[in-house]
Chain A
Amino acid sequence: EAQVTQNPRYLITVTGKKLTVTCSQNMNHEYMSWYRQDPGLGLRQIYYSMNVEVTDKGDVPEGYKVSRKEKRNFPLILESPSPNQTSLYFCASSLREGRDEQFFGPGTRLTVL
């Protein structure tokens, strides 16, 4: 089944404790991205990647890092999480930029205390 998976689905952590949210897709998509969703603010793009070893900042990259060492994986790294990073995070992929359909993962609900 074609899908985007994220882990963990739920995470409660404390300020400053480094964490990684994994994202993997099995569709051989070139393009992947991370969004965060907050009430009243909609979906905002954090980082995106056009292909392996090619990443760039989205609208709200501060406090986040990403890497794209393999085509299928695009982890989101929070080196020193803060409470304002409490949010619902989605990973998305599409065949390439400009392709019509983006596939979204199930989401990761992160709480930083």
Chain B
Amino acid sequence: DAKTTQPTSMDCAEGRAANLPCNHSTISGNEYVYWYRQIHSQGPQYIIHGLKNNETNEMASLIITEDRKSSTLILPHATLRDTAVYYCIVRGRWQGAGNMLTFGGGTRLMVKP
């Protein structure tokens, strides 16, 4: 799996957009970018994934640069319940090893009133 680099922590004001960056300069052509989040000691929660096109779902948007070396997860209107650790994961879709997810350090997002 390609290595990812994320800021250790970020703050965001409630109601504003939270933009979480991720660098993955060694990503290969068949690797996807996945985002999960973990609210304090709860089970990780899938957010979104993409290959090269921008993606949007009910939770967030994912913007992937044209060279695919970095991406940004956007939470359009952050709420206090979005306070969590956000993990950017790069992996091939058919990874083997039982679909194992490798979580790095992640970004601790603090949404403040």
Using a CB–CB distance below 8 Å, which chain A residues touch chain B? Answer: 4, 31, 33, 35, 42-43, 45, 48-50, 56, 58-59, 88, 90, 92, 94, 97-107, 109
Most chain B CB atoms below 10 A, which of A50, A103, A104: A104
Q: Is B99's CB under 8 angstroms from A31's CB? A: yes
Interface of B, helix, strand, loop or mixed by DSSP: loop
B99 pairs with A98, CB closer than 8 A: yes
Number of A-B contacts (CB under 8 A): 69
Q: Which of the four size classes fits the interface of chain B?
A: 20 to 34
Q: Are A105 and B99 in contact (CB under 8 A)?
A: no
In the complex, the answer to whether A100 meets B43 with C-beta atoms within 8 Å is no
- Are the C-beta atoms of A90 and B43 separated by less than 8 Å? yes
Minimum CB–CB distance for B2 against chain A, Å: 16
User: For the complex, what is the distance from the CA of A26 to the CA of B28, rounded to whole Å?
Assistant: 35
Query: CB-CB < 8 A to A92: which residues of B?
Result: 43-44, 101
A residues near B43, Cβ cutoff 8 Å: 4, 90, 92, 104-107
Known: A45-B100, A98-B94. A107 touches B49 (CB 8 A): no
| Given A100-B46, A103-B46, A48:B100 Cβ within 8 A | yes
Known contacts A100-B46, A103-B46; is A42 also within 8 Å of B41 by CB? Answer: no
